[in-house]
Amino acid sequence: MDRLLTSLRLYKIHHLLAWAVLFFGWYYFRHQDYPAGLAWWINLVKVGMLALMVYTTNYLLIPRLLYKKKYVLFGGAFILFVFSCSLLKMRVEEQIMHRPNYFNIWSDFKIRVYDNVIPHFLLVSTGAAFKLLMDYARSQRRLAEVSKEKSEAELNFLKSQINPHLLFNSLNAIYFLIDKQNGAARQSLLQFSDLLRYQLYDCNADTIEIEKEVTYLQDYIKLQRLRRDQQYEIQVNIGEDVGGFRITPLLLIPFIENAFKHISHHTDQRNFVQVELSRNKDLFRFAVENSREHRQASVEPSDSIRSIGSTRPTGSTSTIDGTGLTGGIGLNNVQRRLSLLYPEKHELKIQDNHTTFKVTLDLHLS
């Protein structure tokens, strides 16, 4: 988070310096064209209005219209907005100079458009071009990182892969060695086999149907139920709208593993794990909460996501975009996958009050 804030501060200073250079340069070359004492104010209006047009185009019109392929709407909004701002700038200059109708665009249309409107279109278009080039370069870097990460993951998988057929044959043999009366043990082994099959075969694609991911989570939770007695409450709520879209495989399971790993073991208080999946239009929300023991806050971070909560102040709520997390192997893996696969399309919230620990992940599907 500190690195993010530092980057934002540097980014703002960079912009302020650029606009300051433009302001003083404009004043140096054009101050003699205006009445004495008014050049500063007129230049301030010019630069301020230009900045308004550039930032509105770059951070509102382009992301919400152009990047969503609403080309006609973007073109119309861009032309109307720049033209309106040009008219507003001329009206403000008239008020500063106390010359009503001095910049009346209709009295000398060609000259006013040539001197005021066209330069704005050229300057704002130049700023938009820089924005598009920077976004394109950023996307190419991200694609290269994703490709590199995928290649490394595939290489590591090949290095560590055992013969799946041998493994499943072994599980099948163990299944028939278990007494038929022990149905729970047989069912558990089948569930474990399904979990393994999902990881080995179904997760090779970049994305997978959310229904399969949910089934995998449910099978894992069923196995965890066998390890807990009635003293532990395990609740899973899945909304009816959770379906019909794809998600990165194995993205959610580390959070559930973390909840079961650090669930409390109170004898006089409630011990629970609550998992909730919901969807509201293009927003998918995954939340998992578990009770925890206060002494866990002093435990050294392990290779799980528990270290996220332990590094936050008591009762704090952290909003993380996938770039400010630190911790073990599992945590770094989740952080890396979110930042690469869902850039600017996810929000990770951590709530830790030392008696409960909750993780909420929002994914924007569009």
Residue 277 pLDDT greater than 80, yes or no: yes
**What percent of the chain clears pLDDT 70, i.e. is strictly above it?**
72
Do 255 and 288 form a contact (C-beta atoms < 8 A)? yes
Instruction: Count the neighbouring beta carbons within 10 Å of the beta carbon of residue 116.
Output: 19
Rg (CA), the chain: 29
Residue 181 pLDDT greater than 80, yes or no: no
For residue 185, give the nearest of 221, 216, 223 by alpha carbon.
Answer: 223
Do 230 and 319 form a contact (C-beta atoms < 8 A)? no
Give the torsion sign (CA, 27, 33, 38, 44): negative
The predicted model gives 362-366 an average pLDDT of: 89
Residue 263 pLDDT greater than 50, yes or no: yes
Tokens of 92: 């403000």
Q: What is the pLDDT of residue 75?
A: 92
Tokens of 144: 């290269």
- Phi, psi (degrees; rounded to nearest 5) at 72: -65, -45
Do 90 and 82 form a contact (C-beta atoms < 8 A)? no
Do 7 and 28 form a contact (C-beta atoms < 8 A)? no
What is the maximum span of the chain, computed from C-alpha positions, in angstroms?
100
Tokens of 14: 């960079």
**Digit-coded pLDDT (tens) for 63-120:** 999 988 899 999 999 999 999 998 888 888 777 777 766 656 666 767 777 777 888 8
Measured CA to CA, the distance from residue 349 to residue 365 in angstroms comes to 18
CB under 8 A, 24+ apart: contacts of 262-269: 262/290, 262/292, 262/296, 262/304, 262/306, 262/357, 263/232, 263/290, 263/291, 263/292, 264/290, 264/291, 264/292, 264/293, 265/293, 266/291, 266/293, 267/231
Burial class of residue 101 (count of CB atoms within 10 Å of its CB; 0-12, 13-18, 19+): exposed
Of the listed ranges 52-56, 125-129, 328-332, the least confidently predicted one is 328-332
For residue 249, give the nearest of 153, 162, 139 by alpha carbon.
Answer: 153
Give the torsion sign (CA, 100, 106, 110, 115): positive
Residue 311 pLDDT greater than 50, yes or no: no
Q: What is the pLDDT of residue 301?
A: 37
Residue 323 pLDDT greater than 90, yes or no: no
Average pLDDT, rounded, for the chain: 76
Measured CA to CA, the distance from residue 257 to residue 259 in angstroms comes to 5
Segment holding 280, helix H or strand E: strand 271-280
Q: At what angle do helices 39-56 and 118-160 cross, to 10 degrees?
A: 40
Residue 305 pLDDT greater than 60, yes or no: no
Measured CA to CA, the distance from residue 195 to residue 197 in angstroms comes to 6
Cα dist from 93 to 38, 48, 88, 348, whole Å? 10, 12, 9, 47
**Digit-coded pLDDT (tens) for 5-20:** 555 455 567 777 777 7
Instruction: Count the neighbouring beta carbons within 10 Å of the beta carbon of residue 186.
Output: 16
Give the torsion sign (CA, 237, 239, 242, 248): negative
pTM of the model: 0.54
Cα dihedral angle (244, 236, 343, 55), rounded to 10 degrees?
90
